[in-house]
């Protein structure tokens, strides 16, 4: 299971040092991705990788919920207004409607979820000083504590973490 770790950095020099330390970890057995950086007002940091909006919002969770809700609604519509031409046509109508409903629900859920900032992260970003940065890093659950320790040694403050339930289910 993957974990997203969120850190508050004081300046760009610390961010570049943290990026170099992550580069050293990439060659080890720790499964580390990132880090990604953004200012408190969601502006990119010059020369450093920018975050993906799905890392700070509930886009993936809302999309997965929308997938199921859309499929259920489509099945209910076919049940209520379905075809009566026979079992084969009804089964085909159910499969097609559920697939279409799931796709539409996934899309709408993602659009809604991107508007909702992660609760703990939103509070922390509001308290950040103007010169501070937000750093996000992804790691496996086994190397989470060592990552936190390494980043805290650089003077960064850990502000939040998020564990992915479905680590490979990401928007492209």
Shortest CA distance to 161 belongs to which of 52, 153, 93, 140? 140
Measured CA to CA, the distance from residue 170 to residue 172 in angstroms comes to 6
Under a CB-based contact definition with an 8 Å cutoff, are residues 10 and 131 in contact?
Answer: yes
pLDDT tens digits, the chain, 172 residues: what are they?
A: 567 778 888 888 887 887 777 777 666 655 777 788 877 777 777 778 887 777 778 888 899 999 999 999 999 998 888 777 788 888 888 999 999 999 999 999 999 998 888 777 777 777 777 777 888 887 777 777 777 788 778 777 767 776 765 544 444 3
- pLDDT of 28: 61
């Amino acid at each position: 299971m993957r974990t997203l770790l969120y850190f508050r950095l004081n300046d760009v020099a610390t961010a570049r040092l943290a990026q170099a330390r992550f580069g050293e970890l990439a060659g080890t057995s720790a499964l580390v991705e990132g880090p990604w950086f953004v200012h408190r007002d969601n502006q990119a940091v010059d020369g450093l990788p920018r975050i993906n909006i799905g890392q700070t919002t509930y886009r993936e969770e809302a999309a997965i919920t929308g997938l199921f809700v859309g499929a259920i609604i489509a099945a209910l519509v076919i049940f209520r207004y379905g075809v009566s031409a026979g079992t084969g046509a009804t089964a085909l109508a159910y499969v097609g409607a559920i697939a279409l409903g799931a796709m539409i629900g996934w899309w709408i859920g993602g659009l809604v979820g991107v508007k909702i900032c992660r609760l703990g992260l939103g509070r922390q970003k509001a308290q950040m000083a103007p010169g501070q940065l937000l750093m996000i890093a992804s790691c496996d659950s086994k190397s989470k504590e060592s990552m936190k320790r390494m980043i805290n040694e650089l003077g960064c403050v850990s502000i939040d973490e998020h564990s992915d339930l479905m680590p490979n289910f990401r928007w492209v």
